[in-house]
A and B are shown apart, each in its own frame.
Chain A
Amino acid sequence: MSTSLSTKLIRKTFIKLHSDNKQLDLQILAIKNELDRIRAKYEQDMRNLQTTQEHLNQIEKEIKHFPKDGSK
């Protein structure tokens, strides 16, 4: 009787741990995905900002070298 109870308990614990384990795997994957999304968004935003910055640097340079007489 007690052996059967203990087997049942072990089985129950096993199923629970197995399910917990799977849930944790899923959580880890979700966190990693979130990090990927954050990185991708950051890279995209950063690329856009860098392009704008380069563009502005170019404008600054052009202002500096713009001829005083207005010729090309």
Chain B
Amino acid sequence: MKRFGWKKNKTLSNIEAAVTSKTEEIQQLTIENEETKRRLQLHLQASQEEIAASYERIEKALNEDPQKWTLIKQQIQKKSDHQATFFPHLRIGERLLLLGIITAKQLNQSLKEQQIHGGRLGDIVVRLGYVSADQLKQIIDQSFQRLLLGELLVRSGYLSREELDEALHYQESVGGDIGEILVAMGLITPNQLTEALASQNQTGRLITYDKNVVLKAKLPETVARKFKALVIRHSVDQCIIAVESLLNEEELHRLAKIVDAPITQVLASPWEMELLWDQVYQEELLHESTEKLKNEQPENSASQTFTLTQIIVMIVIGIVIAAALMWNWFYTLVFINIIIQLMYFSMTVTKFVMILYGTKENAQIRFSKQQIQSIDERELPMYTILVPMYKESNVIPQLVRNLNRLDYPKNKLDIRLLIEKDDVEAQEVIQSLHLPYSFQMIIIPDGQPKTKPKACNYGLIRARGKYVVIYDAEDRPDPDQLKKVFLAFQQSPDNTACIQAKLNYFNSKQNLLTKFFTQEYSNWFELLLPGIMQMNIPIPLGGTSNHFKTDMLKKLGAWDPYNVTEDADLGIRLYKQEYSTRVVDSRTLEEANSQFRNWIHQRSRWIKGYMQTWLVHMRHPIRLHRELGIKGFWGAQFMLLSSPLLPMLNPIFWSLLIIWYMTHAGWIPAFFPGIIYYLAAVQLILGNFLFIYTNIAGTYWVVHELYRKKENWLSYSLVRYALLTPIYWGMMSIASIKALWQLIRKPFYWEKTEHGFDQERYDTTKSSSL
């Protein structure tokens, strides 16, 4: 005991020492930061002064020899850039100086002004009255010639000729915009690209802006989104807008009418636009991500858990049951039991049929390696990857490695890491990683409900991809998954809105719980889900790795932020709109929950979500029947009700069985009259056997297929644990009762699943399958 206390004290003093040393380190770092800032600022100032001095020197040299200056002026006016031997690449300020239109002092003044307020130098010299607008236009028209972007970057010194050739060569094979390729290859920064584009188009570059001015001048979000433009400054005689790509004459004309002022465009990089958009329209984006579905399709929104009608119906059913129990409790219970037994039986049969369908070779869309290799990468579209995460900074480095392994042109990836505003740690970790430019951190503003679907909706609004997929932070998708999905969409009918990749777990060996979980997922994604799709009934989608056509997803109203299993809900809504979903033979490995409490949190959320989804779509059962058809309607009932209902009922029948074995009480068989007794017996023996057997078969199926492909991250030894499945059912019963309790008390509460418990022990990142 004493020794234990001594150890505790030692640990305490160790932490205390660490806290003290870190506090000192922070003080030291803060001082160093301030000093560095000051030092670097001085360096920059010195360089700027040197440049200012150079302009003065140039002016002086010209003044010293007026005759030569006249000749220089003639030379500049006569020749266009590409033909000239002397002064071949003059920029606007230098040109004005050499032509004697402005003085060095005026030029330096204009540059200073530009540094503070941004905007085009040309506009500034006009505004300061050094040059007339006509004069400037004349000079620009006569002297500048549009160069190719790559050429411009080489001339600007941002890129070597060899690097440009390398990028052009890459462009030949993958297609896409050369600017984005150069950025994706890390050869230039987005800033340099935008600068070059601005220079190429003889337009301004977004340098600086005043947030208050921008907020004051902002357009309605719908208008801004339509034109993809943000007003930076708005006065009577001018409206400066920031754009990612320049608007054409017609668009400019229409926008000018709206703002009632002539428009000046300045270019901003996509990343700057994203940041700016977020600052200006955060409220609108947040409103859209939480309220759009609720406002546009209230009948599909889970923002209201129980409708008044549903409450009345439930009360009526309760009263009828209570009255029946009072009239004759025995017959009433027998009657209820008959219904339950029939339900059990039909669910067992349906599951068996689904599995039979799922074993068909064509239940999943499969592609060979040759088919993947023969894809013309130039045809691949922009792909958005949404990664919602909360307090999972420990898995971010692994996430980045996993996403970097995707075999897809990096210039066509739009990866959006969706971080909640209060998750400061994740924000700092992401910044410290210096991620490639295909990664973008999107901060999700505070607001209720704080759920994964809300974050996804927020990230989706400005998604650039033709397709969009969700991955969880700990996900490890197969590297060729995006290409397989691309092919799957190509080969599927036009109404295919979603391709679901299969999920499984990389840490199956960690403990008994992860083994159970792996078996369940193997069964679900390898057999059941493909079977459901073959039978063409509504599919509760998997939580991640569902790939959508972006436009169709937006048309559907995206995810329901109030539903805690937004994936299951979306599956039903897709079916309602007659969109189809297919399964592709590609896997994403996730981290199976390895801790009991954590597992209960996650599972109860899922079950609660299924109940929520059922309640939402059963507000108007007749209408739902009409929308889904008879097969779809009963399929949805099966899919949504079996998850919460069976685990809730199981303990009752297990108890009855145990009591009967222990006491042989005569009243128990009396509850199973006539054929129901045999039905229940078949259910008990064959049904349970079937459920366990399908688990064994599903797991064997996956392991066998993996071994055939020479992948060995799952072992045959996992199969035998399927015999212990009843333990897992018991756990599910606990979770389902908790889910029901929570549905009533906290319907929108998103019970967080912790990840990253596997990191040290079971890292399969070096596995051959990856």
A residues near B (Cβ < 8 Å) are: 10, 13-14, 17-18, 20-21, 24-39, 42, 44-46, 48-57, 59-60, 62-64, 66-70, 72
Separation in Å of the A9 CB from the closest CB of chain B?
A: 11
Also in contact, A70 and B11, with CB within 8 A (given A29-B432, A36-B432, A44-B189)? no
Q: In the complex, A34→B54 CA distance in Å?
A: 33
B residues near A (Cβ < 8 Å) are: 8-9, 11-12, 15-16, 18-19, 22-23, 25-26, 29-30, 32-33, 36-37, 40, 43-44, 47-48, 50-51, 54-55, 57-58, 61-62, 67-68, 71-72, 74-75, 85-87, 89-91, 94, 98, 156-157, 189, 191, 195, 424-425, 428-429, 431-432, 434
Verify A70–B43 contact, CB threshold 8 A: no
Q: In the complex, A69→B25 CA distance in Å?
A: 66
Find chain B residues with CB under 8 A from A30 CB: 424, 428
Q: In the complex, A21→B43 CA distance in Å?
A: 36
Verify B191–A53 contact, CB threshold 8 A: no
Find chain B residues with CB under 8 A from A21 CB: 15, 18-19, 22
Verify A10–B47 contact, CB threshold 8 A: no
Q: In the complex, A45→B51 CA distance in Å?
A: 13
Find chain A residues with CB under 8 A from B23 CB: 24
Find chain A residues with CB under 8 A from B19 CB: 17, 20-21, 24
List 29 A–B pairs whose Cβ atoms lie within 8 Å, in order of A's numbering: A10-B12, A17-B19, A24-B19, A29-B432, A31-B26, A31-B30, A34-B33, A35-B36, A36-B432, A36-B434, A39-B36, A49-B47, A49-B48, A49-B51, A51-B156, A53-B50, A56-B51, A56-B54, A56-B94, A59-B87, A60-B58, A62-B86, A62-B87, A66-B71, A66-B72, A66-B75, A66-B86, A67-B71, A70-B71
Verify B62–A38 contact, CB threshold 8 A: no
Verify B47–A53 contact, CB threshold 8 A: yes
Verify B12–A54 contact, CB threshold 8 A: no
Find chain A residues with CB under 8 A from B62 CB: 63
Also in contact, A68 and B71, with CB within 8 A (given A21-B22, A53-B51)? yes
Q: In the complex, A34→B427 CA distance in Å?
A: 12
Find chain A residues with CB under 8 A from B87 CB: 59, 62
Separation in Å of the A10 CB from the closest CB of chain B?
A: 6
Find chain A residues with CB under 8 A from B54 CB: 53, 56-57, 60
Verify B15–A63 contact, CB threshold 8 A: no
Also in contact, A60 and B29, with CB within 8 A (given A21-B22, A54-B157, A72-B85)? no
Q: In the complex, A56→B56 CA distance in Å?
A: 11
Verify B58–A42 contact, CB threshold 8 A: no
Q: In the complex, A42→B189 CA distance in Å?
A: 14
Most chain A CB within a 10 A radius of its CB, from B9, B11, B29: B29
Q: In the complex, A16→B509 CA distance in Å?
A: 35
Verify B94–A68 contact, CB threshold 8 A: no
